Amino acid sequence: MAGGNLAGFALRFAGNAILARFIAPEQFGTYAQASVYAAFLGLLQAVSFPQALLQLPDLPGLVATVRRMTLLLSVFIMGLGLVLWPVVAALRDAAVGHCFVGLVFAQGVVSVGLAYEQALQRVHHWHAASGLRLIANVVSAGAVIPLGIALPGPFVLVLRDALAPLLVIGMIAYSARRARHEAFPDEGFHRDTAQRVWELGRSLFWNRALEAAFFKVDSLLVGELLGKRTLGLYDQARYLAALPNTALGPVASTVGLRVLAQLKDDHHRRARAFALLQWGIARVVFVFALGAALAPELAIRIVYGSAWVEAAPILQALALWTLLVPVAVNHQILLTALQLWRPIRIGFIAATLTLAAVVAPLALLLGAPGVALAHTTAVAAQLVVWARGTAGPLGLQAKDHLRIGLPPLFAGLIGLGAGLIVESLLAPGYLGATLGLLAGFTASGLALIALEGQHMRRELRYIREVLRRRDPPVLESPPAGTSPAGATDPDPR
């Protein structure tokens, strides 16, 4: 699943970089402004009916019931989008209104597509789900990129969001009808099952709604206070900063959620699975954070071109945000898997209050980079709350969190210092930034090996063995008088 997503992610990243060379920041700003309004209307999708396919046990007609509920909700939201279309156009302009209604329809398509995808994931058809998504991304890029070059504009970005999930729906529906796939049993709507799905969705709603609002409020502030062009720059800088979280999303939010939900009664394995996820995520994302801190202008010029160079200070201000968000999300996923909703809500409330307290002075002082720093501070407050919430279910002590988090943090600081020293000795430009970045990566890599080389090798060997084993082992019940980690399970990890 991670491999298929990384391939699709690389394709979307390359497509976005190509489109940014033909579509101006102001037009990206139009799209970003419309996406803010569409996201707030899309808060109704926070009931997340498709997630029932990852969390609920086998229930009569679960797949068919979830698909029907998701479709009805999406159609309802699309209808609201049509009603609000002229309102948004009157408040902003016609282009924002057109993009708004297109994005509302795209969100509906994405939601229905998730119901199909997660039905495959429920029966552990990870290769099929990721392969179909990759095919859809290839076909979508093949259509959208030439269109963006020929007719550059914000509507191309809307089409980019909608086309791939629409293709996924078509391919899965066609194959399911032809082959009667086990993921799509021929069962109708079940009222009792719908009640269980609704109960889970209602529990998820406020957490997901707070999450969606929190991760759009900074864009809303930038657009309202600093204008479309600055919003376009901010939106794309945050897109780059969010790449690690986007790339690792299926590992944590899909596979991780499914695994942690199934291990809710197995304390030892649940803690092991979470710690392994957090260990790997922290060591991947710090590389991106270091790059954003050391060479933001180099990254912007390479990815977007010289027309976007004003986004470099914003990307640099988001360097720590790049590291904190994926780590925080992993805590959120564990709380979701265990259906511990209160800590999630408190985390978003703490983050929102923190953002409200610091965003005005930082924005007035630094502009868009100040908004980025304010959002980073809010995410840090959120992480503290969620880490406290997961401490009990995991049985982790402070030293365990330090063992996971401190080595990459120290290594990142050492790399940052080394990179800044090299850059200060060279003239500004591509060469100085590139050599500084290489020095930073080298120093941080050596520091990380020195700090935890043996532990790193042991964990990587374990992950390699898991990846080699395509079919998960069957865990039999231990014989009477033996522990769960006895003869039937020689490796308690």
Which alpha helices (H) appear in 125-266, and where do they start and end?
126-150, 154-179, 191-226, 228-241, 243-249, 257-262
Predicted pLDDT at 283 = 85
Place of tokens 């940014």: 20
- Region 352-378 average pLDDT: 93
Q: Could you tell me the end-to-end alpha-carbon distance of the chain, in angstroms, rounded to an integer?
A: 21
Could you tell me which of 244, 227, 220, 232 has the C-alpha nearest to residue 375? 220
Higher pLDDT, 447 or 119: 447
| Cα distances (angstroms) measured from residue 412 to each of 247, 291, 321 | 20, 10, 14
| pTM, entire model | 0.77
Whether 366 has a pLDDT exceeding 50, the answer reads yes
Do 182 and 123 contact (CB within 8 A), yes or no? Answer: yes
Q: Residue range 272-300: average pLDDT?
A: 88
pLDDT digits (tens, 9 = 90+) for 59-100: 888 888 998 899 999 999 999 999 999 999 998 889 999 999
DSSP of 349-418, one letter per residue? HHHHHHHHHHHHHHHHHHSHHHHHHHHHHHHHHHHHHHHHHHHHHHT--HHHHHHHHHHHHHHHHHHHHH
Q: Examine the pLDDT at 492 and tell me if it is beyond 80.
A: no
Residue 446 neighbours by CB under 8 Å, 6+ apart: none
- Mean pLDDT on 129-150: 86
Q: CA dist 414 to 86, 98, 280, 320, 466, Å?
A: 53, 48, 20, 15, 32
